[in-house]
């Protein structure tokens, strides 16, 4: 189907800059007629920007775009649909409380004598759904249907009679296996009608099941395009994470290799439907366990399940050998767990509160609300932490929202150290932190481990994982796919484990 005829879309030398960032750098991209084309890349690769340039949501700085051989110039998001380019963005922009009909006619209502003609609206909605062979009660609110159906309604809304190119941004993110099959069936059906589909996803397995060709972007540059059949998984993963195999991250000789001993925390068969596949995990004192995987592989999900921030629907947990169940963060904290979330601003910091109050918060929670940490002790603990962690702040009473990213991360770490946590879960501890602070935090993690703490560190940077971990749990597509320990922990091995099918 990909004979050298006129491609459906051809982008040449597309560049796009935002203040301080080169989001796309001379990217070439080509989608044939009637193919399913997977667009892959890690965070900041430029996938979304490329899509937005293609659909008219963003203006490109330079480069040309051909649609079926004709040069086109898209200047607004409304231009895409006019040219037969339909997009379903990641955040489904439907209104869950409205009926399916209303959602399908949100931006264009059929009018009759100045009023909406609901009869014609219903007809149109049924036609649209029929294109996807979807037969549902269109009067019911959208929210009463499963996520999969909602996703299909979103696609039905985007699809027009003259759609030539359908762009799907992570359509399967919250679907279960059966629902993914349903969606894929529909995609194959659309493909057979000659519609080209661009499919953005983090799920490698799905790429190999549905895509004809794959394009990988990294840091705003094109890494390469290849037919799926000619691109082994290993090659694909290396393309995504960068650097050829063999150029491995340097692994410092880790002194503490604790292979024996009773784990503080032993988890068996923990998981949650639609969220994270079942996994086992053991954490021992004085050990750093790394969670490695690509974007969307389930790193954050694993952290949240272990900490009780999201309820697991299966699994057994033993803490120091005793069976327990962790139902809430509060319970986890009482046991001695601490969690530094990936999204510091939304889930970590309490921006209005001072550095001091943010540091003593978990310590206070452990003591109970009635037993307030005396002010002098708060000042002392905060002062010690500011010193020990090298937090740069004019004083302990500064609202924490006004500190820099690295210092904010240190404040959250300090919160758990002050509360004498024994198990620390760190999700992307160095994201959004400048280089200097980055090294400091990595050194700090090693130091805490040396002091007998157990750490679970999730990171998208394989080099960081290699540098820190005593053991690495490898994740792919929201499943644990392997474990690497000791001297075997190399960048190459992690990539091999992710790519193994």
Partner 1 sequence: MDRAGKLSTAAETKWSVGEVLNRPWFWPFVALGLILIVDGIVSPGFFSIRINQGRLFGSLIDVLYRGTPTILVALGMSVVIGTKGIDLSVGAVVAIVGAVMTNLIHRDFSPVSVLFLTLGAGVLCGLWNGLLVAFLDIQPIIATLILMVAGRGIALLIDEGLIVTFRSDFFSAISTGEFFTVPSRILVCIGSFIILWLFLRRTALGLYIESVGANASAADLAGVNAKLAKIGAYALSGLCSGIAGLLICADIRGSDSNNAGLFMELDAILAVVIGGGSMAGGRFYLGLTVVGVLIIQGLTTSILVSGLPAQFTMIVKGAVVLIVLLLQSSRLRSMVFGAFRGRRG
Residues in CB range of 80: below 8 A, 6 or more apart: 54, 55, 56, 57, 74, 86, 87
The answer to whether 290 and 475 are in contact (CB under 8 A) is no
As measured in angstroms, the least distance from the Cβ of 371 to partner 1 is 8
H/E segment holding residue 88? strand 85-88
The answer to whether 40 and 215 are in contact (CB under 8 A) is yes
Q: Which is nearer to partner 1, 127 or 395 (CB)?
A: 395
As measured in angstroms, the least distance from the Cβ of 317 to partner 1 is 17
The answer to whether 294 and 476 are in contact (CB under 8 A) is yes
Q: Which is nearer to partner 1, 41 or 348 (CB)?
A: 348
Q: Which is nearer to partner 1, 284 or 356 (CB)?
A: 356
- Burial code of 354-372, b = ≥16 C-beta within 10 A, e = fewer? bbbbbbbbbbbebeeeeee
CA 288 to chain CA centroid, Å, is: 23
Q: Which is nearer to partner 1, 295 or 309 (CB)?
A: 309
As measured in angstroms, the least distance from the Cβ of 147 to partner 1 is 22
As measured in angstroms, the least distance from the Cβ of 325 to partner 1 is 16
Q: Which is nearer to partner 1, 333 or 455 (CB)?
A: 333
Report the residue from 171, 290, 293, 329 that binds partner 1 according to the rule CB under 8 A: 329
Contact between 342 and partner 1 per CB under 8 A: no
Report the residue from 10, 35, 169, 357 that binds partner 1 according to the rule CB under 8 A: 357
Q: Which is nearer to partner 1, 278 or 365 (CB)?
A: 365
Residues in CB range of 416: below 8 A, 6 or more apart: 338, 339, 340, 362, 424
- Count other C-beta atoms under 10 Å from residue 224's C-beta: 13
- SS3 at position 18: strand
- Using CB under 8 A as the binding rule, the residues of this chain from 131 to 160 that contact partner 1 are none
Q: Which is nearer to partner 1, 110 or 401 (CB)?
A: 401
- Using CB under 8 A as the binding rule, the residues of this chain from 358 to 417 that contact partner 1 are 361-362, 364-373, 392-395, 415
Question: H helices then E strands: how many in the chain?
Answer: 16, 22
Contact between 353 and partner 1 per CB under 8 A: yes
Distance CA(204)–CA(485), nearest Å, equals 24
- Using CB under 8 A as the binding rule, the residues of this chain from 38 to 97 that contact partner 1 are none
Contact between 449 and partner 1 per CB under 8 A: no
Q: What are residue 29's phi and psi, to 5 degrees?
A: -150, 135
Total chain residues near partner 1 (CB under 8 A): 35
As measured in angstroms, the least distance from the Cβ of 411 to partner 1 is 12
Site residues (CB under 8 A) for partner 1?
307, 309, 329-330, 332-334, 339, 341, 346-353, 357, 361-362, 364-373, 392-395, 415
């Amino acid at each position: 189907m990909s004979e050298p005829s006129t491609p459906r879309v051809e982008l040449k030398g597309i560049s796009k800059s935002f203040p301080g960032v080169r989001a796309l750098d001379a990217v070439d991209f080509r989608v044939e007629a009637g193919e399913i084309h997977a667009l892959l890349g890690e965070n900041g690769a430029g996938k979304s920007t490329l899509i937005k340039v293609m659909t008219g949501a963003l203006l490109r700085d330079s480069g040309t775009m051909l649609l079926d051989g004709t040069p086109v110039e898209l200047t607004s998001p409304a231009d895409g649909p006019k040219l037969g380019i339909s997009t379903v963005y990641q955040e489904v922009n439907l209104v869950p409380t409205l009926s399916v009909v209303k959602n399908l006619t949100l931006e264009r209502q059929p009018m009759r004598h100045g009023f909406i003609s609901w009869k014609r609206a219903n007809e149109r909605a049924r036609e649209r759904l029929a294109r996807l062979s979807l037969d549902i009660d269109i009067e019911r609110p959208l929210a009463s249907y499963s996520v999969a159906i909602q996703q299909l309604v979103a696609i039905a809304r985007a699809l027009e009679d003259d759609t030539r190119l359908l762009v799907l941004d992570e359509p399967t993110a919250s679907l279960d296996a059966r629902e993914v099959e349903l969606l894929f069936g529909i995609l194959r059906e659309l493909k057979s009608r000659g519609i080209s589909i661009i499919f953005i996803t983090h799920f490698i397995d799905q790429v190999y099941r549905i895509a004809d060709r794959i394009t990988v972007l990294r840091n705003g540059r094109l890494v390469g395009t290849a037919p799926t059949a000619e691109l082994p998984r290993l090659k694909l993963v290396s393309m995504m994470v960068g650097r050829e195999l063999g150029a491995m991250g340097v692994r410092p000789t880790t002194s503490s290799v604790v292979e024996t001993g009773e784990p503080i925390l032993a988890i068996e068969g923990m998981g949650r439907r639609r969220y994270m596949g079942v996994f086992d995990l053991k954490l021992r004192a004085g050990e750093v366990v790394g969670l490695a995987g690509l974007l969307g592989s389930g790193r954050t999900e694993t952290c949240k399940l272990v900490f009780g921030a999201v309820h697991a629907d299966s699994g057994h947990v033993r803490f120091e050998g005793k069976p327990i169940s962790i139902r809430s963060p509060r319970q986890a904290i009482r046991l001695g767990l601490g969690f530094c979330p990936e999204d510091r601003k939304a889930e970590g910091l309490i921006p209005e509160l001072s550095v001091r109050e943010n540091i003593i918060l978990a310590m206070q929670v452990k003591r109970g609300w009635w037993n307030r940490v005396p002010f002098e002790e708060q000042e002392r603990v905060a002062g010690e932490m500011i010193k020990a962690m090298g937090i740069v702040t004019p004083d302990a009473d500064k609202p924490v929202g006004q500190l820099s990213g690295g210092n904010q991360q240190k404040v959250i770490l300090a919160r758990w150290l002050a509360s004498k946590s024994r198990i620390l879960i760190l999700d992307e501890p160095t994201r959004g932190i400048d280089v200097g602070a980055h090294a400091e935090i990595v050194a700090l993690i090693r130091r805490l481990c040396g002091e007998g703490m157990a750490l679970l560190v999730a990171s998208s940077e394989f080099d960081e994982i290699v540098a820190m971990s005593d053991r690495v749990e490898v994740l792919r597509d929201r499943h644990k796919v392997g474990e690497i320990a000791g001297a075997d922990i190399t960048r190459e091995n992690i990539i091999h484990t992710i790519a193994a099918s």
